[in-house]
Every structure is written in structure tokens, then in C-alpha cells.
Amino acid sequence: MLIPKKVKHRKMMKGRMRGKAYRGNKIAFGSFGLKSMDTSLVTSRQIEAARRAMTRYVQRGGKIWIRIFPDKPITRKAAEVPMGSGKGSLDHFSAVVKPGRIIFEIDGIEKDTAKEAMRRASHKLPVKTKFIVKE
């Protein structure tokens, strides 16, 4: 699973996820991509599950790029703990995904194989996605 080696602050404010992605919204490395259509927090476990689904389908063929990184710490209070007494402890890391963001890219395989691999990966993610081809 993807986690940052080091973070400046252990706990981060929730913030708001408004607007669309202006960075990482074009295919840069591969020939095919999986583009996000809505906003969500994607956990490192979801990214790993999607990556595994893709690599299993293409049977170690082609090259896959993960274009998002989970660098936002998400905290959680323990079960049955009363309110108050501060913020909860670190639970997992998430990536903020906005509409238009390229999540995965793939190259070195046929279009129909890439489309099916991306479809399988999209089922593991909490965002609506679209398969795109580099112009």
C-alpha cells in the first residue's frame, strides 16, 4: 500500500474538495487512462485493490502508472469513546480526487484489453470514472 515516508503534520484538517482538477488532467505517460468524473477521497487500500485488478487482468503485460498518491492523513476515534478529549489517532491515508483527474494510465497493450482492465479497476474506486484514449 502507498503511504508517505514522512509528513509535516501528523493530523490534517478535513478541508473542502471543491472545483475541478487543473493539474493531472491530461494523459502524460501511457496511451490509455482512467479519468475521474466526480470528487472523493480515495484511500490507499482502494488504489492498491484497483492496481491489483488491472495487473491481474493484463497478466503482467504493459506498463501501469498510478497518477494519484494518498498523502492526506485521516483520523478516527476508537470505538465507544465519548466525545471530547481531542482529535482521534491516525487511521489511514487518502488522496483527494477531483473531477478530471487522471487516476491510472496504461500502455503496451491493445485498446479493448486496456478498457476491460480499467473497467475492473473502476469497480474498486469510490468515484465515477471514464476510459480515455490519448489523442
- Domain 40-77+88-133 annotated CATH 3.30.70.1450: no
Contact between 42 and 95 under an 8 Å Cβ cutoff? The reply is yes
Q: What is the pTM of this model?
A: 0.93
Q: What strands lie across the sheet with 32-36, from one edge to the other?
A: 63-66, 102-107, 32-36, 129-133
Average pLDDT in the 96-113 region? 96
C-alpha span between 84 and 100 (Å, rounded): 38
Q: What strands lie across the sheet with 40-43, from one edge to the other?
A: 40-43, 89-97, 72-76
Average pLDDT in the 70-95 region? 95
Q: For the chain, what is the mean pLDDT?
A: 95
Predicted confidence (pLDDT) per residue in 21-65, tens digit: 999 999 999 999 999 999 999 999 999 999 999 999 998 789 999
Contact between 118 and 106 under an 8 Å Cβ cutoff? The reply is yes
Query: What pLDDT is recorded for position 61?
Result: 84
pLDDT at 66 over 80: yes
